[in-house]
Every structure is written in C-alpha cells, then in structure tokens.
Amino acid sequence: MPTRTAALAPLLLIALFAASACGAKVTPTLAPTATPVPTARPTSTPTPLPPTPTPFYTRSPMMTAVSGTRTPMPVQCQPTPQWGLGDVWKIVKDSVGCPTGEQSAFQGQEVSFQSGFMIWRGDLKVLYVLYYTGEPRVEVYRDTYMPGEAPSAPLPTPTGEALSHLIAAPVGPFEKLWREVDGLRERLGWCVSDNGAQECTVREFEGIAQDCEMGTLLWNRESAFALFFSDMSWEMY
C-alpha cells in the first residue's frame, strides 16, 4: 500500500507548476556552507650557516702596516750556533746570514806565511787562503792533492829573507796550491817556521765549523775566524 508521502507527490508538483506559471519567483534554499578552517603553515627550521674556517696562522702585530709601510718580521734562524762560535755569530750574523746546518767538527791543519796563512778543512777537502792585505782577502780552493804527489810547478829559488832558516816552502796540499796557483805565492810569501829549522811548520788541530748562507765560521782551538763571502774578507776573534 503506497505511503501517504507518495500520494501527495503529484499534488506538490501541480502546485509548483501553477506557481511558476503565475510568475512567482522561487528562491531555492542553499545548504549552509562550512566556514573553512585555516590550515597552519608549517614552520621551517632555519639551516645553520657553516662555521667560519679557522685561519692557519694569526696575523702578528709585527705584520700590521704602520703609516703605509710594512714592518718586516725579524728573521728567526734555525738552528743557531752554539758556544764560542755562537758568540761570534751574534756579532757577524748580518754579514754571514743564517746557518745552513748544524755545527760540525773537522780535522784541520794550518800553515803561517809571511803575508797570511792557509787553513785546510778535512771534512770538505778545501783550503782557505787568508791574506793580511790586498783584495780579495779570502780565497777558497778545492784540495786536489794526493799523498806522494809531486807538484807540477817547480820550486822557486828563495831570495832575500827567504834564505833565512826561519823561511821555508810549504808541504803537502799547501805546497801544491802554493806552487801551482798563479799569483798566490807572490801574495802570501814563504812559509814561516817556528821550530828553529828551515822547514815549514804545519799545525794540526780538531776544529769546529759553522757554515752559513753568506759565509763560514771556523774555530781552530785558539781563535775564531769569520769568513765573509759577500766581499771575500775575514775577521779573527
């Protein structure tokens, strides 16, 4: 059996048609619109900046420019000479520069001449010629002497005071250099003997050497020598 609502449906449709035909305006009822709820915007976590790199060195106040000029850093030499040669180096360091290595011991020999002397350095096999006067005052030669070797240049004939028993020709590596290098014998003169005989005195010693950038320091157990290669001069302390 149809329900009552179903029976009234045709009557409702007829009433709506009649109302439309008479020009009546029908306003449909809209369902209420739900108010939108704002969605919370996600908060982003700021990414931290990377740390500032640590410099390899910190600028020293000595490197700060003053009145438009740069103050140079003081030179720090490593290693520094020790003991007696260290005292001499402090005096002449501006002329010889920094050491190029550690101090070294060497077997040495020394011969005195009328106008200078020679020092033989065994560890490097070199001969230092030191003149009292003239230029240059220092010369350095490689020792090429072989034991038993006869010098290629003849022995000069002594004259004047060289005839004295206190004057003689050198021997060994000193003799070879003295005979063969032009002008060396004329500048040095003859070997001075201190033993009362007409023979050259060769003094042997255990020496200490300090090689530097622009010179060499030598100690022969009695005195210290500073050899300056910039102007080929020397001083004794």
Give percent above pLDDT 90 in the chain: 50
Interacting residues of 197 by C-beta distance below 8 A, sequence separation 6+: 165
Give the span between the Cα atoms of 210 and 231, in whole angstroms: 18
Could you tell me which of 206, 149, 218, 135 has the C-alpha nearest to residue 177?
A: 149
Q: Are 191 and 170 in contact (CB under 8 A)?
A: yes
DSSP state of 62: G
User: Using CA of residue 152, residue 129, residue 184, residue 112, what is the dihedral sign?
Assistant: negative
Q: Which residues of the chain have pLDDT under 70?
A: 1-75, 158-166, 195-198
- How high is the pLDDT of residue 204? 97
Provide the token pair at 53.
Answer: 């790199």
- How high is the pLDDT of residue 66? 29
- The domains of the chain are located at 107-205+226-236
Q: Are 167 and 192 in contact (CB under 8 A)?
A: yes
Provide the token pair at 41.
Answer: 């915007």
- How high is the pLDDT of residue 23? 45
Provide the token pair at 36.
Answer: 């939108």
Q: Which SS3 state, helix, strand or coil, does residue 85 take? A: helix
Give the span between the Cα atoms of 174 and 195, in whole angstroms: 18
- How high is the pLDDT of residue 82? 87
Provide the token pair at 145.
Answer: 């002497």
What torsion do the CA atoms of 119, 122, 127, 129 make, to the nearest 10 degrees?
-20
Could you tell me which of 92, 146, 136, 91 has the C-alpha nearest to residue 116?
A: 136
DSSP state of 218: E
Residue 46: phi, psi to the nearest 5? -60, 135
Strand partners, 216: 211, 227
- How high is the pLDDT of residue 38? 52
